[in-house]
Amino acid sequence: MNDRPGGDHSRIVNHVLAPPVGTFDIDPVHTFVAFSAQHLVVGTVRGRFEAVQGTIVVADDLTESSVEVSIETSSLTTLNPVRDDDLRSENYLDVRHYPTMTFRSTAAFESTAGVWQVTGDLTLHGVTRPVELTVRFGGAVTDASGNVRIAFHAHASITRRDFGLTFELLKEAGGLLVGKDIAIDIDAEAIRPL
């Protein structure tokens, strides 16, 4: 095992770079859960959730790996306080009644070399639905504290109506203010403690 800072801990599985085996805690300081939605049909609004925690278990057989994540819905920010208050209100996320959203994986398989499909149950706004993440492994190194650190990028798309987020703001011409689909992009780092 290489415990020097920067040492590569990746392994090769089926000729593709893969993470090392172990249980990793998501590093909230270096994890970004971003979302985007269409605005007035022509534009895009982007934001992120700042409070995220969870665990990634990497198995020797990668298909047996798992992930559990919890996100505080009130940690949403789009850098616009008025819009953020509306998104946190009963109109959308209703953070008072639904303070967290969670994801628990149920299966994982490699769709193409180095690209994984991770399916799981997303609970949002009191509704649980299956969601599929497209995941790419970014690498594994030893950080300055001697911990093994892994990185991933994941992408998913959800339809907000599926989670009971049906509030529609209509402009005078009758078009949707907020699009029906939400894109989610996750850049995550996780740590296996010493």
The answer to whether 184 touches 34, Cβ cutoff 8 Å, is yes
Q: What is the largest CA-CA distance in the chain?
A: 63
DSSP state of 85: H
pLDDT at 164: 85
Residues 6+ apart with CB under 8 A from 151: 137, 138, 139, 140, 187, 188, 189, 190
* 3-state DSSP helix/strand/coil % of the chain, to nearest 5: 10, 55, 30
Tokens coding 88: 């946190």
Residues 15, 4: Cα–Cα separation, whole Å:
25
Q: If you search the block for the tokens 């689909």, which residue do you land on?
A: 181
Q: Quick: pLDDT tens for 64-100.
A: 999 999 999 999 999 999 989 988 999 889 999 999 9
Residue type, 89: S
Say yes or no to pLDDT of 191 above 50: yes
The answer to whether 89 touches 76, Cβ cutoff 8 Å, is no
User: For the whole model, what pTM was predicted?
Assistant: 0.86
